[in-house]
Amino acid sequence: MICVTGAGGTVSSELIKELVSAKVSFRAAYFSKNKAEAARAKGIDAVIIDYNRPEMLYEAFQGCDKLFLLGPNALNQTQLELNAVEAAKTVGVRHIVKQSVMGADEEAFSLALVHRPVEKAIVSSGMAWTFLRPNSFMQNVVTFMGETIKAESAFFTASGEAKISHVDVRDIAAVAVKALTDPTHAEKAYTLTGPEALTYDEFAKELSKVLGRPISHISLSPSDAKHGMLAEGMPEAIVDRMLDLERYFRENQASRITNDIKQVTGRDPRRFVQYTRDCASSLQLA
């Protein structure tokens, strides 16, 4: 049995679709009671977890030999995931597939420093492990930029002219399924990228073609970007974490392209133009 944490999130929800399609038994662990109830209504074995409550983790992981680990984007995400690792070991989970982040092993930016201690704890636990280290998601265009694209035909970043090899979360999910069902992926770390590195100006051009109206990328200074995110109510520590990621982008450290998705799944990763066509309805004007 596989337990999928963060089941309502961008990656885990796609992973669940893949597991259902492959007819693989799994349990979905949600943070939201409403999402868990909706999943149960669809016939999914769903539970609610709170990483601060070990008894809930024990219950969620009991009877599972594999765990897909993805904690919430919280200030204490590292500790929350460490709690999950300890609980998994206690109840007898044998293999953890952890979603991490590109460059985690290099510890070169804040998000890497969130994930790397968890990776180290998993390795030290004696459980088998697989680390998925994706680049930034193509889906962020809708998740974080969608409202301004619809309202202003523009989106804003502090990444400048950085080239980034964004990855489609559907490809991450496809790799995760392989890692959870094929033991040959144990003790391996995969850096997951798209097949091309694009600037956000190039993103805007592709979006303009697909949506049929001009879409602009507005490049902000880090200080202006911080002011905007704080004005939206984002905690300053999370803002600083995101701005450090943008610094990592500006240094062109996220431009590298790997072959790991094709190596694991046997097919090429999706290109951004394909994603824009798939998400176009979500970005059209009302």
Domain assignments of the chain as residue spans, ordered by start: 2-135+168-192+256-269
CATH superfamily for 2-135+168-192+256-269 is: NAD(P)-binding Rossmann-like Domain (3.40.50.720)
Sheet hosting strand 2-4, strand order edge to edge = 46-48, 26-30, 2-4, 66-69, 95-99, 128-134, 188-192
Q: Which two tokens stand for residue 253?
A: 């450290």
Query: How far is CA 254 from each of CA 13, 189, 199, 262, rounded to the nearest angstrom?
Result: 25, 17, 11, 19
Residue 221 has pLDDT above 80, yes or no: yes
pLDDT in tens, 118-161: 999 999 999 999 999 999 999 999 988 989 999 899 999 999 99
Instruction: Using alpha carbons, select from 1, 87, 92, 16 the residue that is nearest to residue 50.
Output: 87
229-285: pLDDT as tens digits: 999 899 999 999 999 999 999 999 999 999 999 999 999 999 999 999 999 888 886
> What would the mean pLDDT of 12-40 be, rounded to a whole number?
94
pLDDT of residue 285: 67
Query: How would residue 73 be classed by pLDDT, with cut points 50, 70 and 90?
Result: confident
Q: Are strands 188-192 and 128-134 parallel, antiparallel or unpaired?
A: parallel
Global confidence as pTM: 0.95
- Spatial distance between the Cα atoms of 223 and 242, rounded to a whole number of angstroms: 12
